[in-house]
Structure 1
Amino acid sequence: MRPIASHPLFLAALLALPAAHAAPTALAGLGGGVCTAAGVNDSGAATGQCRSAAGDFLPTYWAAGSSVALPLRGLELDGPCEALGIARDGQIAGNCELGEQGERLPVVWRAPSLPSALPEVLNGRTGDDRAAAVAINAAGAVVGISTSPGGKDVPVIWKSGQTAATSLPVPGTLPPLLTPVTECRVMALDSAATPAAVGSCDLRQGGVVAVRWTANALGGYSVTMLPGVPGGSGCIATAINAAGYIAGTCEDAVGDMAAVRWRPTLGAPALLRGLPRDAAAGQQVFAADIGASGLVVGNYIAGDGRSRSFVWAPADAPANEDALDLGLLGGSQAYARQIADNGRILGMTDTAQGAQIAFSWTPTNEMQDLGTLGGHTNLPAAMSANGAWIVGVSTDSAGHRRAYRIGPSKNAAAARADTAAASEGISEGGYPSFELINPMPACSDKDSRCSTWINNGFCSSTFYTVAQKAQYCAASCRLCGK
């Protein structure tokens, strides 16, 4: 993989720097000694599960600015529930059991700051006998499944504020003709109240196809199959951003897995082929998430058979599709999970001693250990869409697993300004603008790696502007006084 300066979009990303994070702060529990975190929103409000003094695991809410745990009511007193995530306005989605038979129902807590408030039940499709929620997006829309009495699962969306399920259709011919698809699953929603969704469907003749669902004028959804790689056998779509750009993974003609990015127009996808091909093991590259600016984050299998993480700025130019390896923190593998709107990447890696720890990556700070609550491990669960907040589970000095929250090290107003700066200049292609602010004085290099970069053709390449070269390697590129 190339060094960071070998792609101008990484240079642009350097201009919008996210706020640094503080150390993890333990979130209080409910007396049972164990808590797990599930989600956090842009204000820092979080949700998860905690064990009570009676030994029950209860859905839990931590308000923004507070570490006090508030248990959420179930559909019946002390009825089992789980919390899945939290929306921008604080709504929490989950599932609760009801009755002696333990019927499991999808629910939303509309006002989690009121512990006495009952959750609102989300209804399955008419005629189905059960349903379940899977995730909630920033606007409060919930995705899940509705199951027929015969056991057939159908993906559904509950639009923000609604309790009626909207079915997501399978692609193919209209009934009564046989569809080529047997089953579909949703992998991600965008951030709208009536969101677009992406995922994959199993083909009747074998294989899998990536799909996108979009709302139609009749109040329902339409489905479109995404084009794959010529000669390949299938794709899955794993993430979609607000601009409609989709990240996923496709199998190519020789059986390798490649990370891909589809434009909203759904033409042929851009393919990440910047990783060295292993003649024996092949190429295994998987997309995990896509940010607001179009950056794709994912993981690949290195030559030693272990997972490594990358960030990729698709250029729609096959010869220039390359990615940046995010590095390691003394261990041998890394797993990137999520990219925020400000470009911050959250993931998990290991240390030289084999401990699992959470990492944050930005173009300026590169991979950073997020710390622990005094123990050796830190398992990240989620990051807010604006990149300001992270939640997860860490061990303390006594070895107990506790939920934590990490926030920005400066005030919230400054963090919001960082996010706004990172989102400025979104172009038709979905990337930050290339305008360079406060260029470095002539005759100086900003980065110590300029000598390596110029050996890779940074100074001589016409792919980069003179302003970009002067910004980072003015002396090495001999641009003094220009």
Structure 2
Amino acid sequence: MKISRSWGWVAVLATALAGVSPLSATATSEPVVVVQGSGPRYLGTLGGSSSWGADINARSHVAGSAQTSNGSVHAFRWTPSNGMQDLGTLGGRNSSAVAINQWGQIIGDSHTDVDGEGHAFVWTPSGGMRDLGTFGGCCTVPRAINDRGQVTGDSYFADGNMHAFQWTAAGGLCDLGTLGGLARYGSAINVLGQITGSSYNAEGALRAFRWTPSGGMQDLGTLGGRNSQGWEINPLGHIIGLAEVADGSNHGFRWTPSGGMQDLGPFVPSEINALGQIVGSQFFDPEGPPHPHHASRWTPSGGWQDLGTLGGEESFAWGITDLGHVIGAADRSDGSRHVFRWTTSSGMRDLGPLPENLDPVAMNIRGQIAGSIADMAEGRSSAFLWTP
């Protein structure tokens, strides 16, 4: 699962400092033993100076991108037993991994030739890298892959319009249709092949949608305002995202097939697990002056629960496992920020200091975290795996 969108600035800054982009000779790192509670483990590079973690599966396999010895950037797969593997490209100079499923299948972007546009790919351990094609335009952007190897994202037509897609090995690219407008994109896909994302309607409003193989694209509506966005979908078909209320402000929402769109209040949801439990960060007293964020957990039976802090002002939830365990970061009374694990039985437990310039981008069902740590002085970035 991907971690909340609020932590992405560190990776962007690190990329700028290094002078390269994850998409702008084979080498491997030494295998690393994953030790619980030992802090971030650096995954190495492909011969260059920097690497970036993008996603992690339940087997502790990490997908990401790393510089090679000639300065290009290639997608990689890292495993505890074999270290870092160069996935190559579709014929161009650079490639970049986006996500990995539980079977080790990876999606990403790659240049198709030296000056080519970016095409989406799916990489499998048995078949290597496969071009997903386009709808006739410049490029295709992959965003998520499920455990059946089905992919969603968006692809361009020759006229420049962008449509959401579902890709399967048997059927190739499938246009998800329209809510009446032009541009739309797929954000997430569950194991049933159901997709959520956002599409413009005929009036120019952006709306969250659910797409199913049998029912096509469904407008999920709003909370009384004009726009909404679909972000994540779980195996039950429950969707989280943001929607405008009547005064134009945004609230988090949960949508279910039986209950429709439910207002979660002034809250930005970051993850939903298989049980429908949600985590994110909530603003307190939205009518008053700005207040600190607190990590919060929502359940269908109990509503919102403030997870508190470690004695300081703020806390942020990164993700939630299917057991309901929450991983995040929280301030201490001395102003330092530490990593925490929260459980219903023990509450918030301090796991130690949050390394400076750490960007956690994904968490697996075991609570392991992958991402990148920027070395600001050296102008480089290192992919990591952390088992808190």
TM range (shorter): 0.7 to 0.9
Structure 2: how far apart are the matches of 1:395 and 1:184?
A: 33
**Kept in 2: contact 1:258–1:272 (CA 8 A):** yes
The question of 1:107 aligning with 2:107 is answered no
**Kept in 2: contact 1:86–1:92 (CA 8 A):** yes
Which one of the candidate residues 52, 72, 84 is aligned to 1:36?
52
Provide the residue aligned with 1:287 in structure 2.
Answer: 269
Residues 1:100 and 1:45: Cα distance change in structure 2 (over 3 Å): closer
Provide the residue aligned with 1:277 in structure 2.
Answer: none
Deviation at 1:330, TM superposition (A): 5.4
Provide the residue aligned with 1:121 in structure 2.
Answer: 131
Structure 1: how far apart are the matches of 2:198 and 2:347?
A: 33
Which one of the candidate residues 172, 175, 179 is aligned to 1:164?
172
Deviation at 1:46, TM superposition (A): 0.9
Which one of the candidate residues 78, 93, 97 is aligned to 2:111?
97
Structure 1: how far apart are the matches of 2:370 and 2:100?
A: 12
148-157 vs 97-106, which deviates more? 97-106
Provide the residue aligned with 1:310 in structure 2.
Answer: 296
The structure having more radius of gyration, on CA atoms, is 1
Which one of the candidate residues 217, 228, 235 is aligned to 1:223?
217
The question of 1:143 aligning with 2:123 is answered no
Give the letter for the 1:139 counterpart. R
Provide the residue aligned with 1:184 in structure 2.
Answer: 184
**Kept in 1: contact 2:336–2:353 (CA 8 A):** no
What is the RMSD computed on CA atoms of the aligned residues? 3.1
**Kept in 2: contact 1:200–1:236 (CA 8 A):** yes
- Once the two structures are superposed, what CA deviation does each residue of 1:33-52 show, in whole Å capped at 9, x if it has no partner? 32211111111111111222
Give the letter for the 1:154 counterpart. H
User: How is 1:82-481 mapped onto 2 (pairs within 5 angstroms)?
Assistant: 82-111=96-125, 118-125=128-135, 127-159=136-168, 161-162=169-170, 164-171=172-179, 179=180, 181-192=181-192, 195-216=193-214, 222-229=216-223, 231-265=224-258, 267-273=259-265, 284-303=266-285, 304-315=290-301, 322-329=303-310, 332-349=313-330, 358-368=339-349, 370-371=351-352, 375-384=355-364, 386-394=365-373, 401-407=381-387
Give the letter for the 2:300 counterpart. P
From the two aligned structures, give the one with the greater helix fraction.
1
Deviation at 1:348, TM superposition (A): 4.6
Give the letter for the 1:75 counterpart. L
TM-score (norm 2): 0.78
Provide the residue aligned with 1:447 in structure 2.
Answer: none
Structure 2: how far apart are the matches of 1:348 and 1:191?
A: 30
- Once the two structures are superposed, what CA deviation does each residue of 1:349-388 show, in whole Å capped at 9, x if it has no partner? 5667777665443323444455579x5343211111x234
Structure 2: how far apart are the matches of 1:123 and 1:30?
A: 27
- Once the two structures are superposed, what CA deviation does each residue of 1:428-478 show, in whole Å capped at 9, x if it has no partner? xxxxxxxxxxxxxxxxxxxxxxxxxxxxxxxxxxxxxxxxxxxxxxxxxxx
Give the letter for the 1:190 counterpart. N
- Once the two structures are superposed, what CA deviation does each residue of 1:66-88 show, in whole Å capped at 9, x if it has no partner? 37221111123x72000111111
Provide the residue aligned with 1:480 in structure 2.
Answer: none
Structure 1: runs of 5+ lacking an equivalent: 1-19, 172-178, 274-283, 316-320, 409-482
Residues 1:40 and 1:372: Cα distance change in structure 2 (over 3 Å): farther
- Once the two structures are superposed, what CA deviation does each residue of 1:306-331 show, in whole Å capped at 9, x if it has no partner? 4332111124xxxxx64112323455
**Kept in 1: contact 2:134–2:157 (CA 8 A):** no
From the two aligned structures, give the one with the greater strand fraction.
2
TM-score (norm 1): 0.64
Q: How many residues align?
A: 348
